[in-house]
């Protein structure tokens, strides 16, 4: 999350970032979502579906406020976005890339039945935002593995831009 290393930033800069996320979403280029508390009074994190991993695949990315780790927000949102990836976007593969030193983040794909495929060296930003400083472990779930994974049971509702129910 290169954008997070400069926080806090002026409100105008946050608004521009959100506008860019919305524009990319509307163009089908990148899909960024907020993660909210149950009563929707607090933004506790963010997630998204990112096509940067190649044709026929999407990457699920996520971040969470430190005081909300361990409460199931990321597992629930990742399971839901995995279903959306396969059932709405009709991709064949969903990836998650994780810093091998982030135990909480590593637990998510493992809990959801993703398969660890390997290590990409120097692919993640460092703690100070410097690009390509840390390794990433790559986890993947394939379309034909969805039914046997915990993601298949994710409860969700999905609607298109016109409000028509997709899931």
Domain residue spans of the chain: 2-153
Note the pLDDT of residue 4. Answer: 63
Q: Which two tokens stand for residue 97?
A: 């890339």
Measured between alpha carbons, how far is 95 from 109 in angstroms, rounded to an integer?
9
Topology of domain 2-153, CATH: Aminopeptidase (3.40.630)
Number of C-beta neighbours around residue 52 at 10 A? 12
Note the pLDDT of residue 58. Answer: 98
Note the pLDDT of residue 129. Answer: 77
Instruction: Identify whether the C-beta of residue 60 lies closer than 8 Å to the C-beta of residue 53.
Output: no
Note the pLDDT of residue 9. Answer: 81
Q: What is the mean pLDDT of each run of 10 residues along the chain (167 residues)?
A: 68 91 92 94 95 96 95 97 97 97 96 98 85 93 98 93 89
Q: Residue 124 pairs with which residues in a beta bridge?
A: 134
């Amino acid at each position: 999350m290169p954008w997070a290393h400069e926080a806090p930033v002026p409100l105008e800069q946050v608004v521009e970032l959100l506008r860019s996320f919305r524009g990319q979403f509307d163009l089908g280029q990148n899909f960024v979502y907020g993660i909210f508390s149950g009563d929707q009074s607090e933004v506790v994190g963010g997630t998204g579906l990112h096509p940067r991993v190649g044709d026929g695949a999407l990457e699920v990315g996520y971040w969470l406020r430190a005081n909300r780790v361990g409460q199931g927000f990321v597992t629930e949102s990742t399971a839901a976005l995995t279903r959306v990836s396969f059932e709405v976007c009709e991709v064949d593969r969903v990836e998650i890339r994780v810093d091998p030193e982030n135990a909480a983040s590593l637990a998510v794909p493992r809990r959801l039945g993703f398969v660890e495929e390997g290590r990409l060296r120097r692919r993640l930003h460092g703690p100070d935002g410097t690009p390509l400083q840390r390794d990433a472990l790559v986890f993947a779930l394939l379309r034909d593995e969805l039914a046997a994974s915990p993601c298949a049971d994710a409860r969700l509702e999905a609607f298109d831009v016109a409000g028509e129910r997709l899931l």
